[in-house]
Amino acid sequence: MNVRDTKAAPGDLARRLVPDWLWELVEPTLPTPRPRPQGGGRARVNERAVLTAIVFVLTSGCAWRDLPASFSVSAPTAHRRFQEWSNAGVWQRLQGAVRRGGLDQAERVWARSVLTAAAARLPARAENELLVMK
């Protein structure tokens, strides 16, 4: 089973944080997980659930360690994936997708909020590459 196809964190909050339109923009930008050379191990946490946890931390301003357990994603996993995705240029590609259009006003505002919050958490080098949209 593909981890990206499994059900994301349940609840209305999860769907408000990462609505379907946002997930459809982000999913193609995510890097393909590398296979583990030793095999086995724990199954990778659902990508949409991780994105939901990341968006919560970014937009709420809470510390990674304060991520509520209700997201079913550990704080270290959310932070590690944020770093992986940042290094892979996910936020820059999302910015490009938002700029290409096709979103209504409310969707653009939410996408810009997420991107602005991501830029604030990025290292200075990466933050400079992510030019927050006006």
Rounded mean pLDDT of 2-14? 54
Domain ranges within the chain, ordered by starting residue = 3-28+45-129
Over the stretch 30-78, which tens digit does the pLDDT of each residue have?
999 877 777 777 778 899 999 999 999 999 999 999 999 999 999 999 9
Q: Kindly state the helix (H) or strand (E) to which residue 125 belongs, with its residue range.
A: helix 124-129
Identify the burial level of 72 via C-beta atoms within 10 angstroms of its C-beta, where 0-12 means exposed, 13-18 middle and 19 or more buried: middle
What is the sign of the dihedral through the CA atoms of 89, 93, 96 and 101?
A: negative
Over the stretch 92-107, which tens digit does the pLDDT of each residue have?
999 999 999 889 999 9
Report the distance separating Cα 109 and Cα 103, nearest Å.
9
pLDDT grade for 10, boundaries at 50, 70 and 90 = low
Angle (CA) 119 3 63, round 5°: 35
Does the structure show a pLDDT above 80 at 119? Answer: yes
φ/ψ bin of 77: left (φ > 0), alpha (ψ from -120 to 50), beta (otherwise): alpha
Alpha helix locations (H) across 12-104? 12-17, 20-26, 47-60, 75-87, 90-99
Report the distance separating Cα 49 and Cα 15, nearest Å.
10
